[in-house]
Amino acid sequence: MSDEIQPDDRHDGPAATAVAGAVNRLPQGSRRFAWIGTALGLLLFAGSLAFLWHVVSDLDWAELRSAFVAASAEQLWAAIGFATLSYLLLTCYDALALKQLRLRVPYRTTALASFASYAVSFNLGFPLLTGGTVRYWIYAPKGLRASRVASLTVIAGITFWLGMGLVLTWTLLAEAGAVAALTRVGLALVKLVGIGVGVALVAYMIFVSLKRRAVTIQGWRLELPGFRLSLGQSLIGAAEVCAASAVLYVLLPAGHGIDFELFLAIYVVAVMLGIASHAPGGLGVFEATMLIALSSLPREQVLGALLIFRICYYFLPFVVALALLGAYEITRRFKALRSVLEPEEPLA
């Protein structure tokens, strides 16, 4: 596959359309399972909202306000620093995907597309649609056609899940006793889940290392990364998950006594349940899971930490992304206008 991108490759329509078309062409049985998954996600979301309503109805709002404003400057700067590190690592998701697709794009473009797409999709949900559209908006002028942007989005998603799997395996096995005590499930079950996820990761690594692998959905073909790139995806994804979880960890009340590895396990499970709910950013489900798991801590202080986490990791990046996208579009249109208005040089 050539590194050169043909100029006419950019006229394929939005990347989201390419992915949506592939999904619509799935067999009827697969679409039925997708609807079942969506229904279960909505039930999870509704149940979490009911739990949160119960929590909120019993809150001491004065204590919540005190917990919210009690965060120290050191905690806030540490949270912002870890959020920045997390989004920097997210740019590596796109960089690795571009490497797999053998496409050369300047890092400044990759960083803008990745940061903006994640900041928008984290807040609005529907990542294939919102994130894919933002990516296409930025990558299309560089010559990437819609199918390439769709492939890039999926490969970036694989990076995320490989990282989540690696972190989940590590934390469940390293903190099996603490996780079992916290969740009130059997120690053997916790270890079994950790081993199962680890085996699945190893099996995937073996699967992609034996030969080139590809998946095809009704004519849309995606070549999977090989072993070396998949290993890089796992490490980068795990580092990003650790950085994102650290944003909330440093905001917890002082003296909480929870090891970071144990907190990581809680965080990953909360994120996965949030994704299953299909709520933007796991809103409601993530908070409910964290409140249940951290029930030994003062509820108002945990909820205050969760609110600040939402501001640092979701709201502020979203505002910055919108500003950058606006500046990008203004700059792009100004350059296009200037190229039209500049007189052509006379022929010698």
Q: How many angstroms separate the CA atoms of 186 and 189, rounded?
A: 5
The pLDDT assigned to 97 comes to 94
The pLDDT assigned to 110 comes to 94
The pLDDT assigned to 311 comes to 86
Residue 346: inside a domain, yes or no?
A: no
- List per-block mean pLDDT (blocks of 10 residues) for the chain, which spans 348 residues: 38 45 48 50 52 53 64 90 97 95 92 92 81 87 86 92 95 88 83 94 94 78 91 96 96 87 92 82 84 85 88 89 87 77 60
Q: How many angstroms separate the CA atoms of 42 and 150, rounded?
A: 26
What is the crossing angle of helices 127-139 and 107-124, to 10°? 150
Residue 1: inside a domain, yes or no?
A: no
User: How many domains does the chain divide into?
Assistant: 1
Residues 6 or more apart whose Cβ sits within 8 Å of residue 126: none
Residue 2: inside a domain, yes or no?
A: no
Residues 6 or more apart whose Cβ sits within 8 Å of residue 208: 224, 225, 226, 227, 230
Q: How many angstroms separate the CA atoms of 330 and 23, rounded?
A: 34
Residue 87: inside a domain, yes or no?
A: yes
Residue 325: inside a domain, yes or no?
A: yes
Residue 228's domain comprises 7-337
The pLDDT assigned to 343 comes to 61
Amino acid at 123: N
Candidates 142, 144, 120; CA nearest to 131 is 120
The pLDDT assigned to 56 comes to 53
Residue 265: inside a domain, yes or no?
A: yes
Residue 35: inside a domain, yes or no?
A: yes
